[in-house]
Amino acid sequence: MPSQNHPKLRVAAVQAAPVFLDIDGTVEKTIQLMKQAASDGVRLIAFPETWIPGYPWWIWLTAPAIGMQFVQRYSDNSLVVGSKEFERIAQAARELEIWVSIGFSERAGGSLYIAQALFDDEGRLVKARRKLKPTHVERTVFGEGDGSDLAVMETPIGNVGMLACWEHLQPLSKYAMYAQNEQIHIAAWPSFSLYRGGAYALGAEVNNAVSQVYAAEGQCFVVAPCATVSKQMHDMLCTDDLQRQLLLQGGGFARIYGPDGSPLGRPIPENEEGIVVADIDLGVISLAKAAADPAGHYARPDVTRLLLNKTPGDRVVSHVPRGMVEVLPETNPDVDPASAN
């Protein structure tokens, strides 16, 4: 009997600042980083949480009324699934023959969502998903995902899943991912530069540990991109000494971990931009699984089990009475309905 084929590939985690509140500029920077990775033989590159158009740091720095000055600009520069900007990333993936996981603020109708999209190396959208529950003050900006967003996709490079930020502190959500035999996990994070010295749980030590534990707990490779706060972003957002103390420049801590929790690749100093690169072999996952597979031989379903409801949370369900004809709304020609969530 032939042995199972285990993909080997080079992966990259981005550590950089977006062109803040500028969708076109950030898409262009995205493509440049994709080109850099592809030239180094990378087959999968992952970008941070809300990379496009950047993380809305003002929600942690000031009153909602003051932060309203950024709301329209943030919405206008958020990414629509299937739009021309979305297609630019897909086209670059196709031309460079590289897999891409990108974090973005998704605009759908009048609402925003913390989202991630995975494109294959032919530029096809494999999955677009939303963060299930925005964290703390993120709820003033973003809506919620649903059970269909806890998904692991079977692909030629392995079983790939994605979560954002403190979704990695949700034990049941993590278990739902492990149970789908996840092999490569994208853990997207914003910069770890908020409330430093005042809120340890928001810092790099805890959150990199969360990514590392995810790798060891789920016996999978974890690619953890992390954004930075640029001087331009800092100058725009921080207008007094208190705000400059609450949010620091830098804060980049991109990492890659193996299925035993071991760190892979060479970290970049937190104030620098670049990509962390590592070569991975999915064959070694079986060595980690032999010790403890949380959804397999190491589980006790007679004691604890998880109920996962993957029904999409559609906001509106149309009902057309018999004998009546439904009048469909006009569609946006820039959006491909087949590629939407």
The separation between CA 95 and the C-alpha centre of its own chain, rounded to angstroms, equals: 22
Q: Which residues pair with 184 in a beta bridge?
A: 160, 221
Show the tokens assigned to 29: 């920077």
49 is catalytic: yes
CA distances from 134 to 50, 250, 284, 305, 325 (A): 12, 23, 34, 25, 38
Strand 111-119 relative to strand 263-264: parallel, antiparallel, unpaired? unpaired
HSE-CB of 178 using CA atoms within 13 angstroms: 27
Which residue among the candidates 29, 127, 131, 289 is catalytic per the annotation?
131
Nearest CA among 156, 149, 37 for reference residue 93:
37
Which residue among the candidates 29, 85, 106, 165 is catalytic per the annotation?
165
226 is catalytic: no
Rounded to whole angstroms, the Cα distance separating 31 from 66 reads 33
252: Cβ contacts below 8 Å, ≥ 6 apart = 15, 16, 191, 192, 226, 227, 228, 268, 270, 271, 272, 273
165 is catalytic: yes
Exposure of 333 by Cβ count < 10 A (0-12 exposed, 13-18 middle, 19+ buried)?
Answer: exposed
Which residue among the candidates 49, 85, 167, 270 is catalytic per the annotation?
49
Rounded to whole angstroms, the Cα distance separating 20 from 32 reads 16
Task: Kindly list the catalytic residues.
Answer: 49, 131, 165
